[in-house]
Chain A
């Protein structure tokens, strides 16, 4: 079963293929770690602070594919609202996660504006 990324905001919903694994999913939290006098670890966990941060690098993207992601990134900044990300095909799917989209360098490798190694970070909001 292919892994699909679905992005949606008030303007549109788009499904993106994931032709180039890996898809990196990490934990993101505000935990505060302290060491006691006898060097024991205490971790303070904050309510609602457990988030995910998802990173993927597309090996190659056509310009229209790139612009789809770029469009979400631009609209979140103009509307002030996070788009929502769903990922299916995983053992533990992600469903409608509000995310902040950050994009890496736009490396154009030909006259058709094909991009290479564009990294995108979806940070749980």
Chain B
């Protein structure tokens, strides 16, 4: 639940509820000069919406736009958030309609923003009660708006910035060892110029021995795999903060009561989302100490240069690529001349005479299975790179995990309900038997039995958030539920929620003194 004043809650609970709403957009996508900003104008991402802010203040990078208030034109607005179980990466969506009687939002018209009615315009939605509005959504519009010439309205659809991030490809490789999911997420977000104030990441339970994402890999795919291995949830909240929750979030207490006095409709369904079988396939790698990770050595019996492979022309540059057997956490950049305990390469003239100067490495690139060095040859003759030896830390496959956990009692009742279907899940980030076991036990413990879900339309409180626990006391029910979907519509008012019965487990942890109460966390 967002932090609001007591007056906010009082207004939400009144018989006559005084709604308030607001909408501001940045059609021109100009930056707010009053906000100190870093070097966005030299960023390599300046064609998009994500860029590297050079600041650590509490603002998110989407706060840097100059927003204009269009609240007096709102005819309707709605937004929705939903998480799925047992893990999810969820994006929020919003739809809103403006009065367009004067053609202000008509592309190509005469208004000051007519040239900016184009996709990807930042938008903020606020809603609350009386004079007290809080932010409900921050995101970016999708395609150009729908203009209704008969009704003189214009309608926009928008998604949150997480959707935008998921569509991006990684700018650099990610190579990390013995890290938790939150650490990997932070590294990915950092690539996109997001400061740590833009996200709140719980400490992941899963320690991944080795993570390697190629440059250019889709960020959304990478993040989804990480969420699956953690059994966690990732979303952007109402204020624009990215939040990551592990599979064992802290125990929550109800923040709102849903009863006959504030509920307009209520349905409850039963057997949904039962999981009594977890099958995991995971290739486990372990990062070694420094060792040779690639070697292409010349045949001492035959120094004759027989091809033009790896030839660097006189006075120019070229690339030499090594095919790796395994991805590497780190590879030292080679230098000219053999040396022990380091990366090196040697060069010869086309006649086979060793070259000892004028050949140097100017850079490198790497991927899962390739390491490419860029070499400059300042000599007045062509050279061939005849030997290459790379020294680094490789991630070797040490095991392939085939894990299966099932709950016999639940299978007796409901049949086999396996996570991920017949194939189970394949994800190399589980990293260890212990983590797979912990993941499976937690999932089965939480989902092996009936977990009723409800769908309700309630009077609501606009400070409620996804994941909040509510006390359901309507229609004779008295149970706690956790909100899995929130979808308010401002006009005509409709506050639709979905919630799943909440049975918190009072897990204790080995490293705290109260281990003898409750159940050990798997």
Chain A residues engaging chain B, CB cutoff 8 angstroms? 30, 32, 34-38, 40-48, 80
Contacts and interface: CB of A to CB of B under 8 A. Distances in A.
A34 B15 CA distance: 10
Contacts of A38: 260-261
Contact of A36 (B19, B20, B261, B492): B261
Contacts of A47: 18-21
Given A34-B493, A36-B262, A36-B263, A42 B474 contact: no
9 contacts: A32-B493, A36-B260, A36-B262, A37-B263, A44-B19, A46-B19, A47-B18, A47-B21, A80-B101
Given A37-B260, A40-B15, A46-B19, 10 more contacts: A36-B262, A36-B263, A37-B265, A37-B266, A37-B474, A38-B261, A43-B15, A43-B16, A44-B17, A47-B19
A32 to B, nearest CB: 5
A30 B491 contact: yes
A46 B491 contact: yes
Contact of A41 (B15, B20, B101, B266): B15
Interface string B485-522: 00000011100000000000000000000000000000
Interface string B35-71: 0000000000000000000000000000000000000
A42 B16 CA distance: 6
A37 B491 contact: no
A80 B102 contact: yes
A40 B262 CA distance: 8
A38 B20 CA distance: 26
Contacts, number: 53
B329 interface: no
Contacts of B474: 37
B444 interface: no
Contacts of B475: 37
A20 B15 CA distance: 40
Interface of B: 15-21, 72, 101-102, 260-266, 459, 474-475, 491-493
A43 B14 CA distance: 9
Nearest to A48: B72
A50 to B, nearest CB: 11
A45 B264 CA distance: 17
B264 A36 contact: yes
B18 A45 contact: yes
Contacts of B101: 80
Contacts of B492: 32, 44
A37 to B, nearest CB: 4
Given A36-B261, A36-B262, A36-B263, A42 B17 contact: yes
Residue among A30, A40, A46, A47 with the highest chain B CB neighbour number at 10 A: A47
A38 B17 CA distance: 18
Contacts of B265: 37
B18 A42 contact: no
A10 B492 CA distance: 35
Contacts of B264: 34-37, 42
A45 B19 contact: yes
A124 to B, nearest CB: 15
B162 to A, nearest CB: 29
A118 to B, nearest CB: 27
Contacts of B491: 30, 32, 46
A16 B265 CA distance: 51
A42 B19 contact: no
A44 B493 contact: yes
A42 B102 contact: no
Contacts of B459: 34, 36, 42
A27 to B, nearest CB: 14
A80 B475 CA distance: 52
A35 B261 CA distance: 9
A10 to B, nearest CB: 15
* 6 nearest A-B pairs in the assembled complex, by CB-CB distance: A44-B493, A38-B260, A37-B260, A43-B16, A32-B492, A32-B493
Nearest to A81: B102
A37 B20 CA distance: 25
Contacts of A43: 15-17
Contacts of A40: 15, 261
A91 B262 CA distance: 39
B133 to A, nearest CB: 9
Contacts of B263: 36-37
Contacts of B72: 48
A111 B362 CA distance: 100
Nearest to A34: B264
